[in-house]
Amino acid sequence: MLVKRPGQVAYLDTYQAMQDFTANRTPETMDELWLCEHPPVFTQGLAGLAGHVLNAGDIPVIATNRGGQVTYHGPGQVMAYPLVNLQRAGYFVKEYVYRLEEAVIRTLAHFGVTGHRVPNAPGIYVRLADPFAHTALTGPATPGDPFKGLGKISALGIKVSRQCTYHGLALNVKMDLEPFQRINPCGYAGLQTVDLFTIGVHTTWDEAAEVLAHKLTPLLSP
C-alpha cells in the first residue's frame, strides 16, 4: 500500500480525486492510503437528513456519496482515506469496516487510550470519565442513550465502487470541537465529540497520522 501525505487540502478537491482514482484504477493498480486534513467543512452522507445540521454558520455543508449522516472535518483531525481493492484483498465490506475500527483502537492503545465500539453505531468511542481504563464496555446499552458516558473520537464513512473503497475515517487529535455542537454528529442528537488533546493525550498531528498509518496498512493488507 502506497501511503501519501498531501497535508491540508480542500475537501472537494480530495473528494474528486478519490472518485477519479477509483474510476481509473485497474486490477493491477496499487492500493493507496491518503492522510490529510481539511479546512473546516461539514459533510453529509447519502442518507443524511438536513435536520441534523442545526446551525452551519459560515462553515460549508457538502453533500457526498459516502454512507452515514453529517460530520465535521477541520484542522487538527487526521483524515485517512484508504483506496483498497477489496476483491484483491480478499475480504468483504463488513470486515473492511471492522479493520478500520480496529486500526483506530490500536492507534488509541499506542497512546494509552482504550477505544470502544458501540453496536450499530460505526466509529470509535472513549469513556469520558476515564479514557485510559482498560475494562471493556459490558451489558446492554443504556435504554434511550447508548452513548451515555461516552465521547466519539473517530468517525467512519465509506463508499465502495466496483469493489474498491474510498472515503474513510477521521481521528480527532487536537482541533476546535465547537463546530460539532452545530450538528447532531453522525445523526445522534447530544452525542459528545472529543479529541486526544481534551482527554489528556498531548501528541502532534504528524505523530498520530504516522501511528494510524502504521496500524492501518497491515490490517488492510490481503
Is pLDDT above 70 for 142?
no
Global confidence as pTM: 0.94
Known catalytic residue at 164: no
Q: How many residues does the chain have?
A: 222
Interval 182-212: pLDDT, tens: 999 988 888 999 999 999 999 999 999 999 9
Confidence class for position 146, pLDDT limits 50, 70, 90: confident
Residue 193 lies in a domain: yes
Whether 68 is covered by a domain: the verdict is yes
- Asked whether residue 108 is domain-assigned, the answer is yes
* CATH number (domain holding residue 18): 3.30.930.10
Residue 31 lies in a domain: yes
pLDDT of residue 143: 63
Q: Is residue 32 part of a domain?
A: yes
Span 47-101, pLDDT tens digits: 889 999 999 999 999 999 998 899 999 999 999 999 999 999 999 999 999 999 9
User: Is 144 part of any domain?
Assistant: no
Sequence-distant (6+) residues with CB within 8 A of 202 are: none
Which range (132-136, 145-149, 210-214) has the least confidence? 145-149
pLDDT band at residue 18 using 50, 70 and 90 as cut-offs: very high
Of 173, 186, 194, 208, which is the active-site residue?
Answer: 186
β strands within 9-132, DSSP E: 32-37, 41-44, 61-63, 71-73, 77-83, 116-118, 121-127
Residue 123 domain-assigned?
no
Q: Which domain holds residue 215?
A: 2-112+152-219
**Region 29-56: what's the mean pLDDT?**
95
Q: Is residue 137 part of a domain?
A: no
| 84 contacts 166 by C-beta, under 8 angstroms | no
d(CA 116, CA 5): 27
The mean predicted confidence, pLDDT, of the chain is 94
Nearest to 173 by CA among 140, 200, 208, 139: 208
What is the total count of domains within the chain?
1
**Structural contact between residues 180 and 173, judged by C-beta atoms closer than 8 angstroms:** no
Q: What pLDDT does residue 141 have?
A: 56
Average pLDDT of span 166-191 = 94
Please report the pLDDT score of residue 113 as a whole number: 97
Q: Determine the straight-line distance between the first and last CA of the chain, rounded to whole angstroms.
A: 10
